[in-house]
């Protein structure tokens, strides 16, 4: 079955004409502009600088941002479509677009003051990459055990400490940083700050050498008496925990979209390969054992896509989507790892070489069960909501 025929199934017939046109435009962009660079970026473990301006020109860095700020004024679902299509080609570029839209831009739209929106949203839509800085060395799943401190110095805030595992760290010009202004108050002291890369006392530290999504920069951030203007608060002082929770709930759907994109890339590559690979005088796609494995992959992909799309639709509709987001991320990340592993099996020895694409899809898929909430944290969320 061709990709176009697969996309005509019920999971995609719910797309509007505008959504289909947008999805296809992103697909063409990914095939034409990103695909030729994938192997080089993976080997060098860095994003090709020529891609960034093209992503902005394509309108992929401000999908939900209102038109008055230079964005497309579109939906969260559209952002997920873009993330999925790009992930079919490269998980690294996909997560850059994901963090830009579902975390950074989304947080500005929902929580920033009018002054901060006017100052930063146009830049995020046209030229600036954003990063979302919550995690620390002792603050991963325990997201609010923050040690980064912020002190009120009258005319400014001064931040001291560090952040780890920050996506887009190398490319970003603006960072949404969570620090505690009152440790005695626990999580109620957590506050969001808008930090520009040129602020005094701020620097980007080492870039992690990762197994997968290697071209995506995952960096340490250092704050040494970092001076932040008093106006650069995201939301309200002491309300950062609320911003972090709500933004991550949305971001998990974006990661789900990335995972179904990676899985779809591996699936489609495998579907084509088994029809050309011959053993015992015929294509291996003629063997029932191979056919059944492909069918299993297709079922996992379709179920994951339905869950991600449903969660995104619920979010856009203003309905309760938290449990659906957790389930979508959990299932999509598991499905992606399994599908990509099965793809390597069906490629045989070729699948275990760098010459073919499925080993990279497999490496890129693993992170889905770790970042923006581990699988165990998704299970905890689901269980709590079921028992409440």
For every residue of 243-267, DSSP letters joined together read: HHHHHHHHHHHHHHHHHHHHHHHHH
Rounded CA-CA distance 141/118 in Å is 33
Of 167, 180, 145, 143, nearest to 221 (Cα)? 167
The angle, 0 to 180 degrees and rounded to 10, between the axes of the packed helices 322-347 and 375-387 is 140
| Active-site pick, 84, 136, 323, 372 | 372
The angle, 0 to 180 degrees and rounded to 10, between the axes of the packed helices 91-98 and 240-276 is 150
Question: Measured in Å, how far apart are the chain's first and last C-alpha atoms?
Answer: 44
What sign does the dihedral 243-166-212-366 (CA atoms) show? negative
Rounded CA-CA distance 272/359 in Å is 16
Cβ atoms within 10 Å of 187's Cβ, excluding its own: 16
Specify the length of the chain in residues: 388
Q: Is 372 a catalytic residue?
A: yes
Contact by Cβ (8 Å): 22, 78: yes
Rounded CA-CA distance 59/67 in Å is 11
Of 134, 379, 56, 82, nearest to 257 (Cα)? 82
Alpha helices (runs of H) in the chain, residue ranges in sequence order? 3-6, 10-13, 17-29, 38-44, 51-57, 76-87, 91-98, 106-111, 114-126, 240-276, 288-316, 322-347, 358-365, 375-387
Q: Catalogue the active-site residues.
A: 372
């Amino acid at each position: 079955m061709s990709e176009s025929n697969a996309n005509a199934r019920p999971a995609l017939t719910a797309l509007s004409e505008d959504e289909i046109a947008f999805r296809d435009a992103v697909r063409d962009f990914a095939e034409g502009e990103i695909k030729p660079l994938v192997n080089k970026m993976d080997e060098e473990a860095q994003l090709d600088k020529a891609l960034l301006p093209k992503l902005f020109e394509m309108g992929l860095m401000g999908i939900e941002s209102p038109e008055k700020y230079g964005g497309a004024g579109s939906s969260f679902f559209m952002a997920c479509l873009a993330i999925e299509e790009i992930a079919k080609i490269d998980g690294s570029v996909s997560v850059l677009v994901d963090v830009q839209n579902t975390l950074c831009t989304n947080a500005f739209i929902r929580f920033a003051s009018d002054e901060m929106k006017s100052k930063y949203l146009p830049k995020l839509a046209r030229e600036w990459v954003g990063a979302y800085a919550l995690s620390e060395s002792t603050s991963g799943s325990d997201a609010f055990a923050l040690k980064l401190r912020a002190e009120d110095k009258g005319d400014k805030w001064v931040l001291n400490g560090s952040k780890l595992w920050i996506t887009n760290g190398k490319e970003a010009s603006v960072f949404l940083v969570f620090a505690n202004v009152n440790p005695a108050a626990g999580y109620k002291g957590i506050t969001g700050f808008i930090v520009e890369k040129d602020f005094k006392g701020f620097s980007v530290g080492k870039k992690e050498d990762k197994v997968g999504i290697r071209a995506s920069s995952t960096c340490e951030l250092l704050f040494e008496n970092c001076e932040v203007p008093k106006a650069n608060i995201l939301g309200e002082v002491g309300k950062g925990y609320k911003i972090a929770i709500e933004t991550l709930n949305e971001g998990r759907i974006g990661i789900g979209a990335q995972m179904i994109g990676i899985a779809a890339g591996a699936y489609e590559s495998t579907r084509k390969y088994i029809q050309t690979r011959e053993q015992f005088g015929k294509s291996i796609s003629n063997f029932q054992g191979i056919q059944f494995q492909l069918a299993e992959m297709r079922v996992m992909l379709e179920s994951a896509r339905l869950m991600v799309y449903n969660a995104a639709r619920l979010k856009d509709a203003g309905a309760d989507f938290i449990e659906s987001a957790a389930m979508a991320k959990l299932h999509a990340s598991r499905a992606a790892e399994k599908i990509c592993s099965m793809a390597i099996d069906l490629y045989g020895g070729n699948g275990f070489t760098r010459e073919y694409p499925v080993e990279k899809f497999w490496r890129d898929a693993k992170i889905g069960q770790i970042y923006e909430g581990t699988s165990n944290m998704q299970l905890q969320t689901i269980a709590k909501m079921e028992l409440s």
